Structure 1
Amino acid sequence: MHVAETLARSLRRADCHYDLVEHPHSATSLESARKAGIPAAQMAKPVILDDRRGHYLMAVVPANRLLDLGKVHKGPWRWQLTSEQSLGGLFRDCERGAVPALGEAYGMSMLVDPALTRQADIYLEAGDHESLVQLPVEEFFKLAPNAQLCSLCQ
């Protein structure tokens, strides 16, 4: 099991209570939820956006939902999906495609869909394709105290 160093450091600093959940290799958040045997509504899926001028934003939605880009409003920027090539530079301690849904730990602002707040526990990628971090929703927000709640899903 591998937890990205940035995520591990954030968990320690916030003194969070969490568990690690192993699962067979997966390629997407939705597949991770299925293989780990957890409800997809509890799996936090990060979608990284940029404004083409060096500003990044993480939108976090349940894995069984799609981001509605038209609902993303933050500042004067026009957001677009970030290219796969850019993600490697932003999340250097993570395997490609296994980004933890904690943008604040990586220096970016976060928007979180309220559907995730209705869950007792939230799961997020740990930084590899075989591990998830499970934590109570209150602990998640200890790690992302500046995250803004707003409806983001279609």
Structure 2
Amino acid sequence: MPVEQLKSYLDQEKVHYVSVNHSPAYTAQEIAKRAHIKGNQLAKTVIVTIDGNMAMIVLPASCRIRWDRFIKSMDTDFIELADEDEFQDRFPGCEVGAMPPFGNLFDMDVYLYDELAKNEEIAFSAGSHSEIIKMKFERFQALVEPIMLSEGFVNPDTPKPDWLCKKRPVAASSY
């Protein structure tokens, strides 16, 4: 779905959005920096296969998937990161790695880390490595109807609680 098709869909749904052009960037953190958006507001889209079905995982650019926890929260044994060759044809007109998080338009379930819901707005790649779209999160949620998840993710920038940072005393050796 090229950028113009996504914009047409949003226009048809009467969604107010802002398109932001930026110099080409290929990682979510790089996009956030170039588009002057906080990493917790920019959504990145990860394509996976869950029990043989392709799906999207959408999470803040500043976060990572903890696969062990994610698999447990999904109550399944088999989740695999999809290879680009497997999914590039599912997103006609989109640059690989810049898929917008609209699984409903691509016949895919969308699993969304609920941390994104804490933001009034969401920003995401619009099908290219040089443009993002910003819109109200509640409108995005109403259009996409993602399955909200609170487990299976980690933000490496979140400070650890004090009790995790304290060093444990080393027991004296009894030689």
What TM-score, normalized by structure 1, do the two folds share? 0.88
Partner residue in 1 for 2:64: 66
- Which range moved further: 9-18 or 23-32? 9-18
Q: How does 1:2-13 map to 2 (within 5 A)?
A: 3=3, 5=5, 7-13=6-12
Q: d(CA) in 2 for partners of 1:4 and 1:74?
A: 34
Q: d(CA) in 1 for partners of 2:56 and 2:80?
A: 11
Q: d(CA) in 2 for partners of 1:67 and 1:9?
A: 31
Partner residue in 1 for 2:55: 57
Q: d(CA) in 1 for partners of 2:46 and 2:104?
A: 13
Partner residue in 2 for 1:118: 118
**Identity of aligned pairs, percent?**
27
Partner residue in 2 for 1:37: 36
> Which is strand-richer, 1 or 2?
2
Q: d(CA) in 2 for partners of 1:80 and 1:94?
A: 22
Q: Which runs of 5+ in 2 are unaligned?
A: 155-175
Q: Which runs of 5+ in 1 are unaligned?
A: none
Pair 1:38–1:77, CA change in 2 (3 A): same
Partner residue in 1 for 2:18: 19
Describe the superposition over 1:114-146 as per-residue Cα deviations: whole angstroms up to 9, x where unpaired: 11000011100000111000001111112212x
Pair 1:64–1:18, CA change in 2 (3 A): same
Does structure 2 retain, via aligned residues, the 8 Å contact 1:22–1:132?
A: yes
Q: d(CA) in 2 for partners of 1:28 and 1:135?
A: 20
Per-residue deviation at 1:12?
3.0
Per-residue deviation at 1:77?
6.6
Per-residue deviation at 1:76?
5.5
Larger Rg: 2
Q: How many residues align?
A: 150
Does structure 2 retain, via aligned residues, the 8 Å contact 1:51–1:78?
A: yes
Pair 1:102–1:148, CA change in 2 (3 A): same
Q: d(CA) in 1 for partners of 2:126 and 2:48?
A: 20
Describe the superposition over 1:23-59 as per-residue Cα deviations: whole angstroms up to 9, x where unpaired: 1110112211110111010001111101473x11111
Q: d(CA) in 1 for partners of 2:48 and 2:75?
A: 13
